[in-house]
Amino acid sequence: MPEAIRKVNVIGHQHPDTDSICSAISYAYLKNQLGESIYEARRAGTVNRETAFVLKHFGFAEPPLITTVTPQIKDIEILRQPGIDRETSLYSAWNLMRDIQLDTLCITDEKNDLLGLIALKDIANANMNIFDTGVLSQAHTKYANILTTLDGTMVVGDPDGRVEDGRVCVGTSPEMMEGTIQPGDTVLVTNRYETQLFAVRSGARCLIICCGAEVMEDVRELAQERGCAIIITPYDTYATARLICMSMPVRARMLSEDVLRFSVNTALDDAQKVMASSRHRYFPVLDEDGTYCGMVSSPNLINVTKKHVILVDHNERSQAVEGLDQAEIMEIVDHHRIGGLETTGPVWFRLMPVGCTCTIVYGLYQENGIEIPKGVAGLMLSAILSDTLMFRSPTCTPQDEAAARALAKICGEDIEEYADAMFEAGADLTGRTAEEVFHQDFKVFSRGKVRFGVGQGSYMTENSRRAAEALVGPYLKEAAADEELPMVFYLFTDVKSQTSDVLFYGPDTDEIVGKTFGVKTKDGMAVLPGVVSRKKQVIPPLMATLQDMSDE
């Protein structure tokens, strides 16, 4: 498998049933045992009560939810440029930008949380603002920053101290400085003894000696006495005056409010829209914990690593997670009709006319000589019992029953007792809404331009079935609107009597049901004796009827 594949998501259909979840977990385990890559089972919707019972019974957590496989920020190359400290000088930030050839840097705190960002233009603007002589004190600039920026040496004072007040000014001679030097000022001077001494006596807070000039001992002593720092720089007065304002910390000029940022989970389409409307070139990226992890720009969006997926228990785009056309389908393992799903290249496709996807997965374990753990065997057994209604469905084949009995021996379950408990758990309506029951097993199909949905619930007792009908029936109209479907059909199957009541909503659905199944309909319902399989006994004849009606 190509090295670029980070992981492969094994996904069942939307509105997952027990087979969809259990086949994803079981097949991901098999693929990981074969050691080809990293495979992760995912779910495309909410787990129903039957499946939740199964997972809890065999000690499995619900697979993580995945609703889309569209490319995200995590699927492109993120520029892993570390954040800089908020006290970093503008001059150091500018040098770093020049060295790494970036015009934007992110500022972070000790926990790597994003504080803001600074761009080259921000530094340029600060450098051009020559008339604001109080910038160092306003930013409470550290002397350490001044030392770094001016390549200076501190001969009096504490490098960890800060410029707390005053302005930056140039001292020429005592005569010219008379009345201009204020207490707290930072004064740039040269080697003139009188000028240095006058600046200290006038209350300067910091004396910067240019051109590497010496400082007389009595000037040092007076500065020490009056709390005036002295820094010696090799730069001349012009260069020092140009550079000193660049010693202020980046926090004084950074953009900290309304910073556009992306999560690693942001869809590329969404990121592209944001970038197109922004004047910035680079954008911070936060990891799944919300901490800074790098930056991205528009050119990064070109080289995308598609998500790699394996589809189980479905092969129709209408039943798959969103963005499938932007993902790389690696394999399909299914037991339904071929749904017209197109792929960009050849894929490994195992489709068999059996009652359950897990029957196919069981066969793949056998083919590859992989031992089945007790818990995984329990999941596959549950899926087969669920999909075949404990071997009562016409979709059930000898392979399904043989696989189920072999798996029951591995996990140590009595098939009849366990199936009754599983179906009862799925039929429990306590605290459930109509929407929850409706979506526990609902799929969307299409025939030409017509789209329709078919759901199904299986019940062990008549009372539980009738309670479900009373709950879901009034909801069908709302469900059709929510799903944007003209027609919905819902089967309430009595497992023991092998009879289904079908409730329906939509234009001409009574005529469609009557014509399809040769039954009489009344008040949006019909009884279908012997009909228990959606896949084999409902979808094909419904498709045929819709085709005939569209041809008329």
pLDDT tens across the length of the chain (552 residues) = 444 556 899 999 998 999 999 999 999 999 999 987 899 999 999 999 999 999 999 999 999 999 899 999 999 999 999 999 999 999 999 999 999 999 999 999 999 999 999 999 999 888 887 778 889 999 999 999 999 999 999 999 999 999 999 999 998 888 888 878 889 999 999 999 999 999 999 999 999 999 999 999 999 999 999 999 999 999 999 999 999 999 999 999 999 888 999 999 999 999 999 998 888 889 999 999 999 999 999 888 888 888 999 999 999 888 899 989 889 999 999 999 888 788 888 899 999 999 999 999 999 999 999 999 999 999 999 999 999 999 999 899 999 999 999 999 999 999 999 999 999 898 888 888 999 899 888 999 887 778 899 999 988 888 889 999 999 999 999 999 999 999 999 999 998 889 999 999 999 999 999 999 999 999 999 999 999 999 889 999 999 998 888 776
* CATH classification for the domain delimited by 8-71+306-426, as one of 3.40.50.1100, 2.40.240.10, 3.90.1640.10, 3.90.226.10: 3.90.1640.10
Predicted pLDDT of residue 57: 97
pTM (2 decimals)? Answer: 0.69
Predicted pLDDT of residue 552: 63
Distance CA(324)–CA(309), nearest Å, equals 9
Structure tokens at 416: 């009849």
3-state secondary structure of 189: strand
Bridge pairing between strands 348-351 and 328-334: parallel
CATH number of 434-551: 3.10.310.20
What long-range pairs does 444-450 form, CB within 8 A, spacing at least 24?
444/318, 444/319, 444/483, 444/485, 445/316, 445/318, 445/539, 445/542, 445/543, 446/318, 447/542, 447/543, 447/546, 447/547, 447/550, 448/546, 448/547, 448/550, 449/550, 450/486, 450/487, 450/546, 450/550
Give 286's strand partners. 263, 292
Q: Sheet of 262-263: strands edge to edge?
A: 262-263, 282-286, 292-297
Predicted pLDDT of residue 2: 42
356 touches 49 (CB < 8 A): no
The segment(s) of the chain belonging to CATH 3.90.1640.10 are 8-71+306-426
Distance CA(117)–CA(326), nearest Å, equals 32
Predicted pLDDT of residue 311: 97
Distance CA(132)–CA(110), nearest Å, equals 31
The segment(s) of the chain belonging to CATH 3.40.1390.20 are 140-247
Q: What is the DSSP secondary structure assignment for residue 538, as one 8-state letter?
A: I
**Residue 201 backbone phi and psi in degrees, to 5:** -65, -25
> To 10 degrees, the CA torsion angle through 85, 90, 93, 97?
150
The segment(s) of the chain belonging to CATH 3.10.580.10 are 74-126+252-301
* CATH classification for the domain delimited by 74-126+252-301, as one of 2.40.290.10, 3.10.580.10, 1.10.10.520, 1.10.1060.10: 3.10.580.10
Structure tokens at 61: 């957590």
* Domain 140-247 classification at class level: alpha beta
Exposure string of 336-350, with b = 16+ CB inside 10 Å and e = fewer, is bbeeebeeeeeeeee
Q: What is the DSSP secondary structure assignment for residue 68, as one 8-state letter?
A: B
